[in-house]
Amino acid sequence: MPVILHKGGRLARYCPKCGSARIKWVLPQIWSIYNCMECGYRGSLIIDDKKLAEKIRQKFLKSLKNK
């Protein structure tokens, strides 16, 4: 299974829902659809901005604690 590798940050991809970098392609044939291994997000929208990802991550972790 293809796993996103980080090389110098440029190829880093983050989940727009939880900010996790643990996302992977659902199917190699449909490479534009990503699946987040942490929150279960699935879609073609991903972010590559590390600062934004960290913000989303913090919000997500807070929302987990509040439950």
Least distance to Zn ion, CB of residue 32, Å = 17
What letter would DSSP give residue 41? -
Cβ distance to Zn ion smaller for residue 4 or 39? 39
What letter would DSSP give residue 7? S
Q: d(Cα 33, Cα 24) in Å, to the nearest integer?
A: 9
**Residues found near Zn ion in the complex (CB under 5 A):** 15, 17-18, 20, 36, 38-39, 41
Least distance to Zn ion, CB of residue 18, Å = 3
Cβ distance to Zn ion smaller for residue 39 or 47? 39
- Residues in CB range of 40: below 8 A, 6 or more apart: none
